[in-house]
């Protein structure tokens, strides 16, 4: 697997909702929930506002690829949004000092709350693994994810999600 690992979806979701109850880490908990449910790169995630999320549908231009994407806000995010006051406006993911998290801050917090080889990118990979697992590990889900992630091929998506290595490991274990 390249870079960071994914996190088991339910574990990440539960951690996010637990942190939502904490005054100190509420914003980070919300970031986890949005990250694993939207599949955005951290820089795109950090640019989201309460107004966009409350609208139910986001249209963003990805920072890295400059491609336009439309995303739907799902029930997990809507449930988490209820933890915030209707008057909360502007950027969603702010530190206690009210500045938007940096990628480095997110990475530090990821290491604080999750074990292993994790980073902000683990949230995006967690989204991908969940989509793949929810669709019975189908090729169809890899086609969709390849498009969502703007990968050049399904093979790249397999490598990105760590699926290819798992398949290769099975070769050895099956002997």
Interval 16-35: pLDDT, tens: 999 999 999 999 999 999 99
**Residue 166 belongs to a domain with what CATH number?**
1.10.443.10
Question: Per residue in 6-20, is it b (16+ CB within 10 Å) or e — as a string?
Answer: bbebeebbebbbebb
Is residue 4 a part of any domain in this protein?
Answer: no
Number of domains in the chain: 1
Is residue 118 a part of any domain in this protein?
Answer: yes
Is residue 71 a part of any domain in this protein?
Answer: yes
Rounded to whole angstroms, how far apart are CA atoms 130 and 162? 13
Question: How far is CA 166 from its chain centroid?
Answer: 21
Each residue of 50-69: pLDDT tens digit?
999 999 999 999 999 999 99
Is residue 3 a part of any domain in this protein?
Answer: no
Average pLDDT over residues 132-154: 95
- Dig out the tokens for 31 from the structure: 């970031």
The domain in which residue 60 lies consists of 9-173
Is residue 25 a part of any domain in this protein?
Answer: yes
- Rounded to two decimals, the pTM is 0.94
* DSSP reduced 3-state for 99: coil
Average pLDDT over residues 111-125: 97
Structure confidence at residue 2 as a pLDDT band (50, 70, 90): low
Is residue 1 a part of any domain in this protein?
Answer: no
Is residue 2 a part of any domain in this protein?
Answer: no
CB 7 within 8 Å of CB 14: no
* DSSP reduced 3-state for 90: coil
Is residue 68 a part of any domain in this protein?
Answer: yes
Looking from the CA of 150 toward its CB, the CA atoms found within 13 Å total: 12
């Amino acid at each position: 697997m390249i870079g960071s690992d994914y996190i088991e979806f339910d574990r990440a979701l539960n951690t996010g909702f637990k942190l939502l109850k904490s005054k100190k880490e509420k914003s980070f908990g919300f970031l986890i929930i949005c990250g694993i449910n939207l599949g955005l790169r951290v820089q795109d995630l950090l640019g989201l506002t309460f107004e966009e999320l409350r609208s139910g549908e986001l249209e963003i231009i990805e920072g890295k690829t400059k491609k336009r994407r439309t995303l739907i806000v799902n029930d997990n995010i809507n449930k988490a949004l209820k933890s915030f006051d209707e008057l909360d406006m502007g950027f969603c993911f702010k530190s206690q000092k009210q500045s938007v998290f940096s990628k480095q801050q997110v990475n530090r917090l990821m290491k604080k709350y999750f074990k292993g080889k994790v980073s902000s990118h683990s949230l995006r990979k967690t989204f991908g693994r969940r989509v793949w697992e929810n669709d019975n590990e189908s090729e169809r889900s890899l086609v969709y994810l390849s498009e969502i992630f703007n990968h050049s091929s399904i093979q790249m998506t397999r490598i990105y999600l760590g699926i290819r290595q798992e398949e290769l490991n099975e070769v050895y274990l099956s002997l």
